[in-house]
Structure 1
Amino acid sequence: MACKVPDRNCNGNDPVHIPHEWYQPSKILTGGIFTHIFILLPELSFQMDPAEEEISGQMMIPRFYQHILALAFAIHEINGIPNILPNATLGFRIYDSYHNVRMTYRTTLDLLFKLHQFLPGYKCGIQTQLMGVIGGLRSDTCSQMADILSLYKIPQFSYGSFQPAAKDETGFPSFYHMVPNEAIQYQGIVDLLVHFKWKWVGLMTFDDDGGEHFLQTIEAMLSKSGICSAFTNKVPVTVRIFEMSDMNKYIMNSIPVFKDSKANAVVIYGENANIGWLAAILLGINESLATDLQYNEKTSFGRVWITTAQIDFALFILQRSWDIKMFHGAISFTIPSNEIPGFQPFLQSLSPTQAKGNGFIKDFWEQAFDCLVSDSNVPTDDACTGEERLQNIPRQFFQLKMTGHSYSIYNAVYAVAHALHVMYRTSSKFRKMENRDKPNSWQVEPWQLHSLLRNSPFNNSVGDEVMLNEHGELVGGFDITNMVTFPNNSYARVKVGRLDPQAPPDKMITLNKERLEWHRGLSQAPPLSLCNEQCYPGYSRKKKEGKKFCCYDCSPCPEEMISNQKDLDYCTRCPEDHFPNHRKDECIPKIQSFLSFEEPLGVTLATLSLLFSLITALVLTVFIKQKETPIVKANNRSLTYLLLTSLLLSFLCSLLFIGQPNKVTCLLRQTAFGIIFSVAVSSILAKTITVVVAFMASKPGNIFRKWVGKRLAHSIVLCSSLVQVGICAVWLASFPPFPDLDMHSVSGEIIVECNEGSVTMFYCVLGYMGFQATVSFTVAFLARKLPDSSNEAKFITFSMLVFCSVWVSFVPSYLSTKGKYMVAVEIFCILSSGAGLLVCIFFPKCYIIVLRPDLNKKEQLIRRKH
């Protein structure tokens, strides 16, 4: 389009002055808009041309100058490679966005329309073609550039923006990210926090759309992973670097937030300016700690700073006195970089006197080395000597090694060059052009490169593969670096891990924890970052009312439950065969408990059983040997022998209750005990009834005469015992006892016992035996005074009183004990009741038989009767 604007001369000077520009002419240009200098423009007053308004302040970040040099170096390197675009030379035009919306739009228009002057909508002079623009460290800068560049479908490459506002699906199809998808970085942050079990974290971001998107996304992910945000510090976008009142207000409000929070891990998102704000806050905190009475010396405020890939630890040149050690141990997600062989020599060769067309180097040199670059030969005291070298600038302000952002810019230039080269080789139009007189006059439009930029991988000069996916995002992951500072206020960023989106979800993040260094102000390494102290094993977390779910109290585990890890939400119950130790942090196997022959109680009861059995056997032997004596014959010898045999067996059957229960002993012990005792009590009942019948039969004409004899006694024993046998048979047929394990009755023990099968049947056996004893006691009590020389009713009455007393007390004692002591109670009752019968009935007779044989005569019995 011809230049026909009134009062504007295409060859004249443009009143709009952009102070910083670097132009290397060529017919094929790559543009660059970088954030290097921060300026403060006055508010629009509409009283004069905006271009004529003065800049009220500016400040430079020297570290960002490397971004500009990376583009220039990449163009220089490509032009020297013969197998890339052999018949073309690339040029570039670089501007500064000045961290300002007005200037970003202004410099973007410059790239499109300016040769030596600026006329929007016109291209004056020789036609050049802008094939791509690299720029946009911040997401808002990218969006402002894209507002204009997208109209012309010029490829735009962001080297630092992660925000979705500039993605193709939002209306910018010509936008390309030279960085991986930000969602990968979000997941990496969460995985890092989970890896170190940091549950209480602070968040710091700018109070803008990008910061709000970050908070909405990350807080949902944190909550899903059981992590809470302790605080959210938003840097107001209205805070300006040169407005001290706003700065001080924000810093003073932020100091207690950072200082008083228990969050030892703080995630910083946004841009490099956040590092400046954070540094100012930390300086204020350290000053307050140093003046605190409880501190005798200056104390360093320690936290783990987790920064995103947008953030570089870059400080303004005016911040030389700031101590970089405040960021020691910071963990950063960084864009991967590689060492380019010729880059450092390229930087070391720079000099303000030899940098033709470089409008940035003069201000950079003067601020970095605190000297003046003069065009005259007149020496001054503060003039630069020309001996200054970039490697002498402290690393926090400038470094020679290519950073991740610079590497992204380097790869963006190569992406444009490779796309042009592919078009040059494959297009028939280009092949025809090679035979023309002007081989360099390509007719290439920027929009033609889009199909070649996406999903077309290539290798850069050091062999790294660069590929943009269908969304225009770099395919790859992030490095994880750890900041290590040194006493001379320098630092190094040590690679300690990798975030790889191609790895399985549980292995996306890898860390070499041995290489990690932590802030020296932290009390332990790695530190804790929790709302409150950890709950140790033996305790579980209990939510605090009105607080976030990460804040909790520690509650002791209930009985029979444990927690064997820190910070468990719930205590767990031990397996049935285990029980908690006294600290409730471990399950201990329960010991099997039963009445054993090896333990003192078992030995005592077994000894008593054998002793009583031996005594009973001796009594039985005495009675058998003295069977012809009057005292033995007078008391029904057969019933006496049956009773003694029953008592002998009852003492021996108690041995079935000692030892580990098995199927046989469980079937026999209760039924044998019940039947044997039933026979014994039946024999006593038969003895008593025999005495009564004999007395009644002694009267003339009594009908009981025919009942006198052994038939009555044997019938009573048989009938009475058969009832108990029937009860036991039904019990064994329907609900037989069986070996069982009781896990719960006694803490710490597994009771090996005989399950009775049917408690009802067990008490039926006891009840019938009690019924027999009651009848025997009643009959004996009524017959105790009958005038018969062989009357045993008195002894039987007393023996049955003992017997009933023992078994009446058995029931409550049996029910109130557990485990082996229940068995011991039953054995004791068997032995004591049997011993009562033996002593009360037979010891008086043994006394006469053994010690007073003179009384064991018929004459004596007749005399006693009268």
Structure 2
Amino acid sequence: YCLILYCLYYIVFSKMCSTSTPAFMAQGDFLLGGIFPLHYNQEMPDLNSTYRPPPVNFDPRAFRWALTMILTVDEINQNKELLPNHTLGYKIFDSCAYPLTGQRAALAVLNGVTEEGHGVCSGASPLLAIIGESGSAQSIVVSRILRPFRIPMISYFSSCACFTDRQKYPTFFRVIPNDDYQVKALAQLLVHFNWTWVGLIRGDHEYGRFAVQGLLRELQGTKVCVAYTEMIPLLYNQQRVIRTSQAKVVVVFSAEGEMTPFLRDYMEQNITGIQWVASEAWVTASVFSGSVYYPYLGGTIGFGIKTGYIPGLGDFIQRVTPYVYPSNPLMQELWEALYGCAPVSPSDSDLPLCSGDETLLEKHAAYMNTSSPRVAYNVYKAVYAVAHSLHNLFLCQPGAGPFENNSCAQSTNIHPWQLQQYLQEVQFTINGEEVNFDLKGDSIPYYDIINWQRGASGNIEFVPVGLFDGTKAAGQELVIKEDRIVWAGHQSKVPVSVCSDSCAPGSRKAVRRGELVCCFDCVPCDSGKISNETDSIECRECPEDFWSNSDRTACIPKEVEFLAYDTVGIVLTVISVVGACLTIAVLVIFFYHRNTPIIRMNNSELSFFILLSLTLCFLCCLVFIGEPTAWSCMLRHTVFSITFSLCISCILGKTLVVLAAFTATRPGNNLMKWLGPKQQRAIIFISTLVQVVICVAWLIDAPPHPFRNMEYERSKIILECSNGSSLAFWCVLGYIGLQAGLCFLLAFLARNLPGNFNEAKVITFSILIFCAVWLAFIPAYISSPGNYADAVESFAILASSFGLLLCLFVNQPNSQT
């Protein structure tokens, strides 16, 4: 059913749009063909309704392009320097902006003045080149028809990238930039304004398909994502995707004829707030310049063809009226479209007869504005390209030609393919602009950036706000004057079109499962990681000595902790000094009463050694407080172990003396002679020397050293002393434990001595306290990190030192009277 309806549409539409006879023609020595969309249809028939012929509209904009070709040919014919003694003729046909009717127009151009046959062709074709077509879909059809005849074709408005294929389109040239440059410019525009969530709409033709493919290719590797891609079908139906999508920026590759029904539905749904990005095919379409369109299309931005200057165009257009050309039916349609009245009577239309006081209709107000033509200027350049190529052909010198055997073309029998050779190499300047073609038939890529703004009369005006120059270095092509842009909704602030709001510094983007990369959630950075940029993909880990701040936006130096002179450090210092002072006080008392019986009976020499070593034990705690250094780390355990070993050795010697003194009363026991003062000193020296040897070996092999502990708490640096060798550390403690155990065993054996001599019991109790403290120290030390371990060890030293001091010297043994 659809195919039948489509064919029926073509039959009716082709009859309503005449393509069999030329709209304009003029004789000349060499003939140029022109194909322009003088009529267009706004929509295809609806499948759900009874078929009615679609409306056919006259396009004054395209009519002005055709007049530009006529003016240009007349200008060249009057030029005595370009093509002297030769004239150009033309045949201009209407393609009706549709591929199938464009095909009929192309065939009509090839067949002669009319479609009637002229017998068998002889000699070269009088048609040297064709200026056309506007739409890429029409140009594809026309180019394929011309290909067997090798007739060159220069398009003024077909920008599809597909024409770069020289195998499919070997005779195609154009004075409009390739769409590859336009999509590159559009991609840079989207990236420039940070529009990361956009919609794409295209027409149902090669131009739209290739343009969308090119834009998607350019957007790869950027932050821009495409929310949807929709097509405006030939059998038009409503497009409601804009209403439900979050994309506030929509890029459209379509011609004005296809856009008309789409925009009508868009306006009927009263959708506003969309920032349109227009392709060059409709960015300067005057049909949308009426004030009624501004609430919906105001702020549209896009890339338009470069403007130029055509001398005499304004005067020429004003002279073209139905009254000057009464026999041309197009003139009557022009007047009806421009003024809404019939110029002559009778008329086929129902419009009233013109009175002469009418003004231009609002939607065609730009028809008379010839100050900066765009597409018309391309027509102007295309005709001049043919003229300059033909002129260069005539300048060919025999023997230096581009053809076989360096021959030249015969001036009286020029073939179109010979002209194409010169078209490929033509290079000329017009109004200061250089015109040439590359090997693919493309021209210099240059666009103006157009912004739709409200004019003084309320109509939409196309205001240049920048440019794109494809000849510049990468990154320098796009120039935008942002302060001159008016955005959708008559706003001065750049609109935002994103799937997800930007992630602030201190967080990273986490792509949602099954969605495009532009749709993401913002996840705060983990501790120790930062992101100091918006929309960071990942959080950067801080250097080893740094940590993230509370906002996760910067790395700050880690807090350094050690057992400093703060609350704990001061308390330990005070206790250490107090303990040392008490010990010294006892030492002074003992020294003062050294000659008294009680002191002498208490083995004053060993007592002095014990008090001296206890003083050193109290003071060695001070080495554990403060920032660890190489010397303090080595002194901590060595001084502590040697002083405690000295203290325990003295107690051991004292225990042996007590035990020997009360066992010597037994008959035959001469043990005391082996525990005289010299032997006692030897015992103390040897016991202490063993610990000294262990410490020296420790310091030589693997000495303790400062260590920055970052494992226990990653946000801090804990300065502590590494033991260097754990084996040596536990050997030191083990030796002290061995001494204490031996001392405890001997004291325990002497526990049953007479009550008046209770020193053995006191030693037993003091060693018991000492062992209890250090046994409790081991698990506490292992489970305490850094400065806490130092505090635990200091506490153990002080506790055991106080235990020995109080047990051994506060409760002095009684002496026998």
TM-score by length of structure 2 reads 0.86
Distance 1:697 1:414 in 2: 138
Distance 1:738 1:305 in 2: 70
Residue type at the aligned position of 1:558:
D
Check if 1:225 corresponds to 2:199.
Answer: no
Q: Secondary structure at the match of 1:659?
A: coil
Distance 1:186 1:236 in 2: 22
Check if 1:326 corresponds to 2:296.
Answer: yes
Check if 1:861 corresponds to 2:784.
Answer: no
**Change beyond 3 A, Cα 1:171–1:304:** same
Give the match for residue 459 of structure 1: 429
Check if 1:309 corresponds to 2:280.
Answer: yes
1:537–1:566: 8 Å Cα contact kept in structure 2? Answer: yes
Distance 1:348 1:88 in 2: 28
Check if 1:722 corresponds to 2:681.
Answer: no
2:174–2:382: 8 Å Cα contact kept in structure 1? Answer: no
Give the match for residue 181 of structure 2: 184
Give the match for residue 29 of structure 2: 27
Give the match for residue 341 of structure 2: 371
Give the match for residue 684 of structure 1: 651
Residue type at the aligned position of 1:35:
P
801, 804, 808: which one aligns with 1:837:
804
Give the match for residue 440 of structure 2: 471
Q: Secondary structure at the match of 1:690?
A: helix
Give the match for residue 375 of structure 2: 405
480, 485, 508: which one aligns with 2:449:
480
Shift of 1:692: 1.6
Give the match for residue 650 of structure 1: 617
2:298–2:490: 8 Å Cα contact kept in structure 1? Answer: no
316, 321, 330: which one aligns with 1:351:
321
Check if 1:804 corresponds to 2:777.
Answer: no
Residue type at the aligned position of 1:264:
K
1:328–1:485: 8 Å Cα contact kept in structure 2? Answer: yes
520, 531, 538: which one aligns with 1:570:
538
Check if 1:382 corresponds to 2:357.
Answer: no
Shift of 1:142: 0.6
546, 551, 557: which one aligns with 2:519:
551
234, 237, 245: which one aligns with 1:261:
245
1:135–1:142: 8 Å Cα contact kept in structure 2? Answer: yes
**Change beyond 3 A, Cα 1:796–1:82:** farther
**Change beyond 3 A, Cα 1:649–1:346:** farther
Give the match for residue 140 of structure 1: 137
Shift of 1:140: 1.6
Shift of 1:260: 0.9
Distance 2:464 2:287 in 1: 25
- Aligned pairs for 1:481-500 (under 5 A) are 481-486=450-455, 488-500=457-469
- Aligned pairs for 1:526-537 (under 5 A) are 526-537=494-505
2:280–2:302: 8 Å Cα contact kept in structure 1? Answer: yes
Shift of 1:258: 0.7
- Aligned pairs for 1:786-797 (under 5 A) are 786-787=753-754, 791-797=758-764
Give the match for residue 540 of structure 1: 508
**Change beyond 3 A, Cα 1:427–1:765:** same
TM-score by length of structure 1 reads 0.82
Aligned length: 785
1:695–1:788: 8 Å Cα contact kept in structure 2? Answer: no
Give the match for residue 416 of structure 2: 446
Residue type at the aligned position of 2:260:
G
87, 90, 99: which one aligns with 1:89:
87
> Which string of whole-angstrom CA distances, capped at 9 and with x for unpartnered residues, describes residues 166-198 of structure 1?
345233211112222322333333333333333
Q: Secondary structure at the match of 1:170?
A: coil
Give the match for residue 6 of structure 2: none
Check if 1:105 corresponds to 2:103.
Answer: yes
Which ranges in structure 2 are unaligned for 5 or more consecutive residues? Answer: 1-16, 46-51, 402-409
> Which string of whole-angstrom CA distances, capped at 9 and with x for unpartnered residues, describes residues 330-382 of structure 1?
221222223445444544554343358866443122112111112799xx993
Distance 1:353 1:122 in 2: 40
Residue type at the aligned position of 1:823:
D
2:35–2:105: 8 Å Cα contact kept in structure 1? Answer: yes
Shift of 1:498: 3.6
- Aligned pairs for 1:756-835 (under 5 A) are 756-787=723-754, 791-835=758-802
Check if 1:418 corresponds to 2:388.
Answer: yes
Distance 1:485 1:368 in 2: 21
**Change beyond 3 A, Cα 1:660–1:128:** same
1:740–1:753: 8 Å Cα contact kept in structure 2? Answer: yes
Give the match for residue 854 of structure 1: none
1:372–1:383: 8 Å Cα contact kept in structure 2? Answer: yes
Residue type at the aligned position of 1:539:
S
Distance 1:394 1:39 in 2: 17
Distance 2:367 2:671 in 1: 130
Q: Secondary structure at the match of 2:166?
A: helix
Distance 1:191 1:332 in 2: 12
2:272–2:295: 8 Å Cα contact kept in structure 1? Answer: no
> Which string of whole-angstrom CA distances, capped at 9 and with x for unpartnered residues, describes residues 655-689 of structure 1?
22222222222222222222222222222222222
**Change beyond 3 A, Cα 1:220–1:168:** closer
Distance 1:184 1:519 in 2: 25
**Change beyond 3 A, Cα 1:451–1:627:** farther
> Which string of whole-angstrom CA distances, capped at 9 and with x for unpartnered residues, describes residues 310-334 of structure 1?
33353658x9574233122222122
> Which string of whole-angstrom CA distances, capped at 9 and with x for unpartnered residues, describes residues 44-99 of structure 1?
xxxxxxxxxx9864113333333223323433443454432233333332221002
**Change beyond 3 A, Cα 1:136–1:560:** same
> Which has the larger displacement, 422-431 or 535-544?
422-431
1:138–1:160: 8 Å Cα contact kept in structure 2? Answer: yes
Q: Secondary structure at the match of 1:741?
A: strand
Distance 1:656 1:541 in 2: 50
Residue type at the aligned position of 1:172:
Y
Residue type at the aligned position of 1:601:
V
> Which string of whole-angstrom CA distances, capped at 9 and with x for unpartnered residues, describes residues 462-512 of structure 1?
101122111111132433333223574422333344434444444444434
1:84–1:417: 8 Å Cα contact kept in structure 2? Answer: yes
Distance 1:584 1:191 in 2: 32
Distance 1:710 1:803 in 2: 26
Distance 2:690 2:702 in 1: 18
